Structure formats: C-alpha cells, structure tokens
Amino acid sequence: DGGITQSPKYLFRKEGQNVTLSCEQNLNHDAMYWYRQDPGQGLRLIYYSQIVNDFQKGDIAEGYSVSREKKESFPLTVTSAQKNPTAFYLCASSRTIRVAASNQPQHFGDGTRLSIL
C-alpha cells in the first residue's frame, strides 16, 4: 500500500545534540512538508519542498534543516540551535500543483514525538 512512513515514532534528544527524523513516501508525490504541532495547538510549517533538490523555509525554520536528495525522502534535522524541540512532528506529501489544476490535499505520516532528556 502507498503511504508515508515516519521514523522513529518516539525520539529523545540530549542537550546539544542534533537528531534526524526520517520521512519516506511511495506515493510518487513531488511535494513534501514538515510541520510541528505543540499540545493544544495547530500545525506550523517548518520546511517544504516542491521538487527534488529544492526546499523552502516555512514559518518556523530556525533551528531546523532539511535535504531533498531523493523524491521519496525528506529528512528533518532538529539541531542544537532549536531550544524548544519537544513537539509532535508531522511529515506530509502532496501531488505537485500545476496551473489550472485544483489544490491538492496533503497526506500525513503518523508522526514522530520528540522529547528532551
């Protein structure tokens, strides 16, 4: 079955440590996104990528980095510069938006919960 796989499901970070969250999709989607969700809050966009080897900052990119070397993969690194990393991280993908096409819904992985040790 096609879908989006995030790993690990739970992750713990020590002070000063970088950690990388994995996101893989086999839906043949061009666009991929990373969101952060804090308890009782909505989704906030961290980074997004419309195509391989290209990505853009979202609303809260500071302290995060991404890469998009393959269409299927969009890993997110939470760096030590992110002082409050504890959150629920969601990866999503969607078909490319083309002129005259309709907006495309995003499909989500089941998330990674990151906590500070």
Partner 1 sequence: RKEVEQDPGPFNVPEGATVAFNCTYSNSASQSFFWYRQDCRKEPKLLMSVYSSGNEDGRFTAQLNRASQYISLLIRDSKLSDSATYLCVPCPPLVSGSSNTGKLIFGQGTTLQVKP
Q: Binding residues for partner 1, per CB under 8 A?
A: 31, 33, 35, 40-43, 45, 48, 50, 56, 58, 88, 90, 94, 96-111
Do the Cβ atoms of 46 and 26 come closer than 8 Å?
Answer: no
Nearer to partner 1, 37 or 80 (CB): 37
In whole angstroms, the minimum distance from the beta carbon of 71 to partner 1 comes to: 15
SS (H, E, C) 15-52: CCCCEEEEEEECCCCCEEEEEEECCCCCEEEEEEEEEC
Nearer to partner 1, 30 or 79 (CB): 30
In whole angstroms, the minimum distance from the beta carbon of 70 to partner 1 comes to: 19
CA distance 48 to 56: 5
Q: Which residue has the tokens 């966009």?
A: 45
Strand-pair partners of 13:
116
Nearer to partner 1, 73 or 104 (CB): 104
Nearer to partner 1, 53 or 96 (CB): 96
In whole angstroms, the minimum distance from the beta carbon of 16 to partner 1 comes to: 28
